[in-house]
Amino acid sequence: MSSIRRRVTAHGKVQGVFFRDSTREEAERRGVSGWVRNTPTGTVEAVFEGDPDMVDAMISFVRDGPGSAEVERVVVDDEEPEGLGRFKVT
């Protein structure tokens, strides 16, 4: 099975709404590795690595946003997989 890696940046009302923890829970449920963090510019940045269908599902999750998040825009960039072993909030 080949792995893919995507770096995703969510813009909008995405901090202070449990975005990171919800993303971690969803990634763990789907078996996706990577990380998620708040940025100083008010966005949430994440890296998803794993099965292409599961990574695409995570991108859809970010586009919808958890709970009271209001996602205005999502930027997705392709990257080379690094073989990450788990998902963490940084």
Of the candidates 7, 51, 16, the residue with the CA atom closest to the CA atom of residue 30: 51
3-state secondary structure of 67: coil
Residues 12-64 pLDDT 10s? 999 999 999 999 999 999 999 999 999 999 999 999 999 999 999 999 999 99
Q: Which domain holds residue 9?
A: 4-89
Q: Residue 17 belongs to a domain with what CATH number? A: 3.30.70.100
Number of domains composing the chain = 1
Of the residues 5, 6, 20, 24, only one is catalytic, namely 20
**Global confidence as pTM:** 0.95
Question: Is-catalytic flag, 20?
Answer: yes
End-to-end CA distance of the chain: 28
Of the residues 24, 38, 73, 86, only one is catalytic, namely 38
Question: Is-catalytic flag, 38?
Answer: yes
